[in-house]
Structure 1
């Protein structure tokens, strides 16, 4: 379901975050979040809910490549070879946030929200999102979203929240 307005988007993401919060709480799990293109929006959706402190262990906005490498331990070779907007880097972000926190599950986002910064290989709206349960392999998805910057960020949040819910529901 694609929201029609910013208000609809906030409601949708609050609903998804609430469902994720309930599942995390029921399973006694904590989440760690590593964000790039969403710039804290994903973390906001959790912290806006009562009970977030029971499930959110920590979050990091790793916007610059140097921060991805030095704070999260993302491989510098992957950053150089594949770029920040890549499956390899989002996998590294998931692994890094699990190592830097006491979280049981990781979520990560990296993409090109626009309106500039895209290329023919990675156009504006290109986003990789990932979810990883501790001790398991990360599940990474590539998405291409349309719309303005906030729309790309919002759709990225919705996708990774849906992935988290699916991972916890299985």
Structure 2
């Protein structure tokens, strides 16, 4: 598997396509870059549902259903905001998976958070047959570099978070199938 954003996006699209699953993206600081990486992959239309670039804080509430009290109390750069963005875009766009980015790319701090503070999140299938522990995951990041570097590392990180989840599920499903085929041993 690749470590570049483009390579990770290709792996994500491939795994989602094989599984017959879809992804939707909610972006803030990345401003559409995650969606651009996914849609640059040939055949992405089989797995990519769409995206919401909710750059303005009030759009996170209005378009993605992020709790208004949470936004007012903590601001947009918060792990719970990232989790609610991922869940909100998954629901709004009818996808199996939702991924989200929120953070501070600079040049100035935002919501009391320093430049380089980023949260990436995913929300996925839950329950029997999904192969997933389910629900959501949030990964906090402290990134260095200029605005462009922080944004691109955020793209790579959210795609890697989804790829890791998909790959671990794939491995878990293969183990379960092997166990069934070998009489439970």
TM-score (norm 1): 0.90
What is the alpha-carbon root mean square deviation over aligned residues?
1.3
Pick from 108, 114, 119: which aligns with 1:123?
114
Pick from 38, 45, 65: which aligns with 2:37?
45
Shift of 1:162: 0.8
Provide the residue aligned with 2:123 in structure 1: 132
Provide the residue aligned with 1:167 in structure 2: 165
Asked if structure 1 preserves the Cα contact closer than 8 Å seen for 2:87 and 2:122, the reply is no
Runs of 4+ in 1 over 6 A off after TM superposition: none
Asked if structure 2 preserves the Cα contact closer than 8 Å seen for 1:128 and 1:142, the reply is yes
Count of matched residue pairs:
159
Structure 2 Cα separation of the partners of residues 138 and 81 of structure 1: 22
Larger-Rg structure: 2
Note the alpha carbon deviations across 1:8-27, whole angstroms, 9 max, x for none.
Answer: xxx81110100111111111
- Identify unmatched segments of 5+ residues in structure 2: 127-133, 169-185
Q: SS where residue 138 of structure 1 aligns?
A: strand
Q: SS where residue 41 of structure 2 aligns?
A: coil
- Identify unmatched segments of 5+ residues in structure 1: 1-10
Matched, 1:23 2:15: yes
Matches within 5 A, 1:14-163: 14-118=6-110, 122-135=113-126, 136-163=134-161
Note the alpha carbon deviations across 1:17-39, whole angstroms, 9 max, x for none.
Answer: 00111111111110000000000
Structure 1 Cα separation of the partners of residues 70 and 152 of structure 2: 26
Structure 1 Cα separation of the partners of residues 72 and 80 of structure 2: 11
Shift of 1:118: 4.2
Structure 2 Cα separation of the partners of residues 35 and 112 of structure 1: 12
